[in-house]
Structure 1
Amino acid sequence: MKITFVMANLVSLSGGLLANASLAYHLQKRGHQIYIVCPQKRKPTGLQQVKSLLKGKGLISTKQTGPSHLDSFDLPSRILDHPPPVTDADVPDADIVVATWWETAEWVANLSPSKGAKVYMIRHHETHDYLPKERVAATYRLPFYKIVISQWLVDIMKTEYGDTNVSFVPDSVDLKKYYAGARQKQTIPTVGMLYSPLYWKGCDITLKAVSLASQQIPNLKLVCFGTRPPVPELPLPPGSEFFCQPPQDQIKDIYASCDAWLFGSRFEGFGLPILEAMACRTPVIGVPAGAAPELLSDNIGILVKPEDPEEMAEAIVKICQMSQEQWRQISDRAYTKATSYTWDDAARLCEQAFEIALCS
Structure 2
Amino acid sequence: MKISFVLPTVGMSGGIKVVAIYAKMLADKGHEVVLVSPPPQQPGFFQKVKSVLKGSGWPQAKPTKSHLDGLGLNHQVLDTYRPVTDKDLPDADIVVASWWETAEWVYALGGSKGAKVYFIQHHEVFDFLPVERAEATYRMPLHKIVIAKWLLDIMNHQYGDSHVDLVSNSVDRQQFYAEPRGKQPVPTIGFLFAYADFKGVDVTLKAIQKLKVTIPHLRVISFGSFKPDDFPHWDKTIEFYYSPAQDNIRNLYAQCDVWMTASRTEGFNLPAMEAMACRTPIVSTKAGWPMEAIESFKNGVLTEVDDVDALAKGAEWVLSLNEDDWKALSLRAYETLAESSWAHSTELFEKALKNAIATSRKK
Taking only aligned residues, the RMSD between alpha carbons, in angstroms, comes to 1.7
Give runs of aligned pairs for residues 42-191 of structure 1, distance below 5 A: 42-54=41-53, 58-62=57-61, 65-191=63-189
Give the whole-Å Cα distance in 1 for the aligned partners of 2:306 and 2:47.
35
Q: Are positions 1:228 and 2:238 aligned together? A: no
CA offsets 1:140-174 (integer angstroms, 9 cap, x no match): 11100001111111122123212122111111122
- Residue 39 of structure 1 is matched in structure 2 by 38
Give the whole-Å Cα distance in 1 for the aligned partners of 2:23 and 2:287.
25
What SS does the corresponding residue of 1:278 show, helix, strand or coil? helix
Give the partner amino acid of 2:319: C
Give the partner amino acid of 2:337: A
CA offsets 1:149-203 (integer angstroms, 9 cap, x no match): 1111112212321212211111112222222111111111010001123211111
- Residue 4 of structure 1 is matched in structure 2 by 4
- What's the offset of the Cα at 1:129? 1.2
Give the whole-Å Cα distance in 2 for the aligned partners of 1:58 and 1:297.
53
What SS does the corresponding residue of 1:344 show, helix, strand or coil? helix
Structure 1 contact 175–339 (Cα < 8 Å) conserved: no
Structure 1 contact 4–97 (Cα < 8 Å) conserved: yes
Runs of 4+ residues over 4 Å off in structure 1: 54-58
CA offsets 1:79-124 (integer angstroms, 9 cap, x no match): 1223311111111111110000111111111111110000000111
- What's the offset of the Cα at 1:232? 4.9
CA offsets 1:24-58 (integer angstroms, 9 cap, x no match): 11122222221111123344431132234445654
What SS does the corresponding residue of 1:215 show, helix, strand or coil? helix
Unpaired segments ≥5 residues, structure 1: none
The answer to which of 39-48 and 271-280 deviates more is 39-48
What SS does the corresponding residue of 1:338 show, helix, strand or coil? coil
Give runs of aligned pairs for residues 210-229 of structure 1, distance below 5 A: 210-229=208-227
What SS does the corresponding residue of 2:117 show, helix, strand or coil? strand
Give the whole-Å Cα distance in 2 for the aligned partners of 1:55 and 1:122.
40
What SS does the corresponding residue of 1:3 show, helix, strand or coil? strand
Give the whole-Å Cα distance in 2 for the aligned partners of 1:233 and 1:66.
21
Give the whole-Å Cα distance in 1 for the aligned partners of 2:250 and 2:55.
34
Structure 1 contact 206–263 (Cα < 8 Å) conserved: yes
- What's the offset of the Cα at 1:66? 3.1
CA offsets 1:270-320 (integer angstroms, 9 cap, x no match): 111011111111111101101111222372221112111111111111111
- What's the offset of the Cα at 1:262? 0.4
Give the partner amino acid of 1:284: I
Structure 1 contact 256–280 (Cα < 8 Å) conserved: yes
Structure 1 contact 193–262 (Cα < 8 Å) conserved: yes
Give the whole-Å Cα distance in 1 for the aligned partners of 2:56 and 2:133.
31
Give the partner amino acid of 2:21: S
Structure 1 contact 197–234 (Cα < 8 Å) conserved: no
Q: Are positions 1:329 and 2:310 aligned together? A: no
Number of residue equivalences: 358
**1:294 corresponds to which of 280, 286, 292:** 292
What SS does the corresponding residue of 2:299 show, helix, strand or coil? coil
Unpaired segments ≥5 residues, structure 2: none
Give the whole-Å Cα distance in 1 for the aligned partners of 2:221 and 2:170.
24
- Residue 359 of structure 1 is matched in structure 2 by 358
CA offsets 1:252-276 (integer angstroms, 9 cap, x no match): 1111110000011001111110111
- What's the offset of the Cα at 1:62? 4.7
* Gap change, CA 1:238 and 1:159, over 3 Å in 2: same
Give the whole-Å Cα distance in 1 for the aligned partners of 2:139 and 2:55.
42
Give the whole-Å Cα distance in 2 for the aligned partners of 1:32 and 1:39.
23
* Gap change, CA 1:24 and 1:233, over 3 Å in 2: closer
- What's the offset of the Cα at 1:338? 3.0
Give runs of aligned pairs for residues 20-31 of structure 1, distance below 5 A: 20-31=19-30
Identity %: 44
